[in-house]
Amino acid sequence: MISCVSFSRGRAPARRSRLACLPLALASAFTLAHAQDVPALGETVVTANRTPQALSDLVGDVSIIDRQTIERSGATGVAEVLARQPGIEMSRTGGIGNTTSLFIRGAETRFTAVYLDGVRIDSQSTGGASWEGIPLSQIDRIEILRGPAAAVYGSDAVGGVIQLFTKRGEEGMSPYVGVGIGSYNLRKLEAGISGKSGAFDYSLGVAHEESKGFNVQPVDKRTPSKDGFTSPDRDGYRSNSGNLKLGYQITPDQRIEASVLSSDILSGYDPSISYRTKPPIQFKDDVSSNTLRTAALTWAAKWNDIYSTRVQVTDSRATYETDPAYYRTETQLRGYLFQNEFRFGPHLVTATLERREDALVNPATTSAKLLARDRSQDALSLGYGFVQGPHSLQLHVRRDDDSEFGGKTTGSAAYGYAITPTLRATVSAGTAFRAPTLYQRFSEYGVATLRPENSQNVELGLNYAKDGTTAGIVVYRNRVRDLINFVGTATGCASSFGCYTNVNRAILQGATLSASQRIGDVTLRASFDVQDPKDADTGNLLARRSKRHGTLGADWRVAGWTLGAELQTSSRRFDDTANTVKLGGYTVLNLSASTQITRDINLVAHVDNVGDKDYQYARLYANGGRTAYLGLKWTPQ
């Protein structure tokens, strides 16, 4: 319906969307298709249980995104790709490189465990991965698991797990070079080579991207004194990234693999310009720097038809720094994994030993002392899986021993039953936790006695798949206790500005509907989320999360082209926990086209937010409006 998209070219403040497309998405949920997000049921995934399993054997809410889907999406960041998936929302204070949050089923961004080639990415300052620092250009595949998974992954997997993978070399040699241009003087350049020769495989990729950007804090001229802060400049970014993956097949049953990734992104963001003063006080524009370094070494061996092992050592370093208003935080995570698998016919038993070492350094500033702390977590996890006939069963239990606050035990149970060859029902329950960050415990605003945040989740699912048609619904309820929030005035705070405390409870409940359908050369897709992520004590909606959001799209292959259209829609949200500052709902239309110009050259074009809809993920922070991109990629066949 064209009426659900605003085609105004003005930059008026975001208004509440009428969500005219939501009934259409809901009505379509069991008749439309999304081939991009619904892989073949025989495809192997590793995220759900940390061991390769066929998608058809899993009891979990899993999505897979391949490189072709990423390139066709036209997204400029990992979070943008993920925000188009069922059950996921995004918030960002401006454009690329600015602070980005991701909410799976309404859970806080710190409640998602994120891995890149098996390397854990997290911040011991704010908590959660710095999504703005992860380079999309280096990502070849994404696996998404919705729902708690602490019994497999330990701390942080309260809302879900996201695994990112770089490319692995395949037989032969495959070089590539890509260039692209877009709105706001966007320039992209990427190159790489991958291949396999005998027992040795390799993959190397590098990328550079820059844009002059747009003003992320335009003045609301109607109420400047009310909105208060802005900076009338363009906030661009510059990104450089690269990755290298090497593998060697020692024997047919033993493999060793090493991977490294480096990413640096420098981006402008707005500090404060106060329009409450006469004349307005203007401050120099700030620049933030995000750096990410990851490394992993893995040895996998299959000793016989029953027993196999995997040993992995990983390291990640994430740094965030601002200038000239100086702030810097550095997080290092080191991991050690020893995983054992035993397969007996339809039975799979896993036993895993894992150690995680966290370190945080916040250099001293004029207002704060040097903070340098570390901790460790040792864990033992056991798992059991059974797949036979219509039955699928998965059981997990894990014990984590933290050097700071002691032990924590989590568990999960999931069962799936194939009612018919095309219809399957699932039920699962699990517990999860998130340990307080080192900053929350030991900074000038910290409280050393903070307790871990805990959750209990139950969910039901029903899925249908036959001849290119899929449909599914998942209903969930996740109760979170001992939520950690910053409180401005609380008894016992060392700082007069406040401190972190365990003060809240949250209920994350809702339903996700998704579906897929192929009709000749046309692929249709739809997903729709109805959710109620709320503060259990006040009943208020959690900040920057909506009650309804969804997508509706189609791809059409015609005359050598793949043409795509997608609607993204969301109801209103609130920018604050008191639910007094509204963020209007929105519906936007994105268009894309791709074709093989020659045997070796592919063209991709897309226009996002065709109607130039003005909306905000965060109060006072604008989005880029209508944007366009054109890219060429040379990949000799």
Over 90: is that where the pLDDT of 68 sits?
no
At which residue do the structure tokens 């365990």 appear? 502
Q: Tokens for 558, please give them.
A: 């015609």
Would you give the distance in Å from CA 561 to the centre of its chain?
30
Structural domains for the chain: 23-230+242-271+284-634 (2.40.170.20)
Contact 104, 97 (CB under 8 A): no
Give per-residue pLDDT as tens, 403-460.
988 899 999 999 999 999 999 999 999 999 999 999 999 988 888 889 999 999 999 9
Q: In this structure, what DSSP letter does residue 150 have? A: H
Closest CA to 105 of 482, 478, 620: 478
The CA distance from 17 to 5, in Å, is 9
Sign of CA pseudo-dihedral 518, 548, 479, 162: positive
Q: Tokens for 337, please give them.
A: 């994994």
Q: What share of the chain in percent tops pLDDT 90?
A: 70
Instruction: Quickly state the pLDDT bin for 619 (edges 50, 70, 90).
Output: confident
Instruction: Quickly state the pLDDT bin for 48 (edges 50, 70, 90).
Output: confident
Closest CA to 88 of 67, 70, 68, 61: 61
At which residue do the structure tokens 């909105």 appear? 227
* Burial classification of residue 209, based on how many CB atoms lie within 10 Å of its CB (0-12 exposed, 13-18 middle, 19 or more buried): buried
Looking at residue 224, its pLDDT comes to 45
Q: In this structure, what DSSP letter does residue 14 have? A: P
Over 70: is that where the pLDDT of 231 sits?
no
Over 50: is that where the pLDDT of 221 sits?
no
Give per-residue pLDDT as tens, 450-496.
999 999 999 999 999 998 899 999 999 999 999 998 887 666 787 87
Residue 31 to residues 104, 303, 381, Cα–Cα distance (Å)? 25, 46, 40
Using DSSP's 3-state secondary structure scheme, residue 183 falls into coil
Q: Tokens for 472, please give them.
A: 């599914």
- DSSP one-letter string for 425-469: EEEEEEEEEEPPPHHHHHSTT--TTPPPEEEEEEEEEEEEEETTE
Higher pLDDT, 229 or 158: 158
Q: What share of the chain in percent tops pLDDT 70?
A: 88
At which residue do the structure tokens 């922070």 appear? 621
Give per-residue pLDDT as tens, 233-290.
788 999 999 999 999 999 999 999 999 999 999 998 876 554 445 555 555 668 899 9
Looking at residue 57, its pLDDT comes to 78
Higher pLDDT, 95 or 147: 147
Looking at residue 93, its pLDDT comes to 87
491's CB contacts (< 8 A; 6+ apart) are none
**Can you give the pTM of this predicted structure?**
0.90
The CA distance from 308 to 52, in Å, is 12
Residue 357, H or E segment: strand 347-362
Contact 44, 59 (CB under 8 A): no
Dihedral of the CA atoms 364, 241, 163, 80 (nearest 10)? 90
Looking at residue 24, its pLDDT comes to 37
